[in-house]
Structure 1
């Protein structure tokens, strides 16, 4: 059972998802729209100067999204009724999202250099499935205990390698964060503290664990497929704005 910080502030899972979605949207608007505009607008123009000023702030706000999504992935794994359906759904949306991801953030419809974040989350989920299987096996000998532990470490290492090999968003560092949050799942305080330390290579990302600290363990309002579809749909819209609408107005 999770230890929770005692506080009048109480945040549900759906509220955490909304925080992650909003901060992600701000980040992606910065990366897909404001960033490219900085280089296309004339030097010294009011809009160009505004884009230069606001761009880093939008990207910094966006650093909060991924750690929250990782925490929610762990919670989802722990409470799902059917982990196979959970993993299958993640895989389907990883495939659906790849073209919109490439379209929004590059000049190509398909590129192998960088895969969308659903692949990172999927690898993290598969690692948790594998680790949990051997974690709860009951060996007959002490040697069996050590073998189970070594197997869990091996599964984690394979997950880290896969994320790095496939060049997924946040690569092996993202999967490592998921492993840390899963390993400390019995203590919310330790999750928040060591999660923040693990993601501290991103300057503003540790602040994501402030709302995580106040998570009350309740699911809140359910809008499951809204959150799944939001990722590819908003990327398609951003890609359309970047490649069709903005160039039209800059002609």
Structure 2
């Protein structure tokens, strides 16, 4: 397979992942936290089954987004001019996004049990930074320990996708100079999610070019779209249902 045609820039991959993430969160928030809990919907067996099947489709589509973001994280790590600022941005938006995430996905203002995906990406980035440092110090054992501890931290903090998400980031980092190995390892690592391996089809066609930046749009898109979906579920759906 050739990566020359078609080809996708990093910006194109990011847009694809964002659209798919939006589809996923429509299912998680508007359907699972909204429509499927309404008595009028539950009392109509045919309607409820249709809504539940629609939600399943939305969520299956949505599983494709996270692996793409993990790949873009590794690419960002390799090409950023300031890794510390990169980590700081992820940390700040992890904090900014927590309440919107809890409202939209967890159904409450604050939920300490589950943290948003920015925390997963941040842990993955910090693991790559430490591994790169120990690689230059020729300490392979320390690198392995860092990777293990990163997965344990994601598991302990209950971040979105948890240790499995961090493992995917680590694998994409380990095979960063071989796209074929990245694609195969990533697809195998996330084969527990039925449709997630499909993410590595567009990843394969990444041409190594950044494309139009718009990085701040992505950062703000995550918390803002979650707040909008929460608003739709909380305020708009009751009005539409009562009409």
Is the TM-score greater than 0.5? Answer: yes
Partner of 2:171: 180
Q: What is the CA–CA distance in structure 2 between the aligned matches of 1:46 and 1:229, rounded to whole Å? A: 38
Partner of 1:121: 121
Q: What is the CA–CA distance in structure 2 between the aligned matches of 1:169 and 1:121, rounded to whole Å? A: 9
Q: What is the CA–CA distance in structure 1 between the aligned matches of 2:2 and 2:119, rounded to whole Å? A: 32
Q: Which residue, out of 31, 35, 38, partners 1:34?
A: 31
Shift of 1:43: 3.3
Alignment pair present for 1:193 and 2:184: yes
Partner of 2:89: 89
Shift of 1:246: 1.5
Shift of 1:242: 1.4
How much is the aligned-residue C-alpha RMSD, in angstroms? 1.5
What runs of 5+ residues in structure 2 fail to find an aligned partner? none
Q: What is the CA–CA distance in structure 1 between the aligned matches of 2:150 and 2:121, rounded to whole Å? A: 11
Per-residue deviation, residues 22-59 of structure 1 (Å, max 9, x unmatched)? 00000000110022312311433775443223111100
What runs of 5+ residues in structure 1 fail to find an aligned partner? 138-144
Alignment pair present for 1:75 and 2:75: yes
Per-residue deviation, residues 224-248 of structure 1 (Å, max 9, x unmatched)? 1001100000000111111222234
**Equivalences for 1:148-227 in 2 at 5 Å?**
148-227=139-218
Q: Give the structure-2-normalised TM-score.
A: 0.94
Per-residue deviation, residues 141-190 of structure 1 (Å, max 9, x unmatched)? xxxx4xx1110011111101110000000000000000000000000111
Q: Per the alignment, do residues 183 and 222 of structure 1 end up closer, same or farther by CA in structure 2, a change over 3 Å counting?
A: same
Partner of 1:133: 133
Q: What is the CA–CA distance in structure 2 between the aligned matches of 1:22 and 1:45, rounded to whole Å? A: 31
Aligned length: 239
Q: Give the structure-1-normalised TM-score.
A: 0.91
Contact 1:5 1:189 in 2 (8 A): no
Contact 1:97 1:116 in 2 (8 A): yes
Give 4+ residue runs of structure 1 displaced > 4 Å after superposition. none
Contact 2:127 2:146 in 1 (8 A): yes
Alignment pair present for 1:103 and 2:100: no
Q: What is the CA–CA distance in structure 2 between the aligned matches of 1:21 and 1:78, rounded to whole Å? A: 21
Partner of 1:141: none
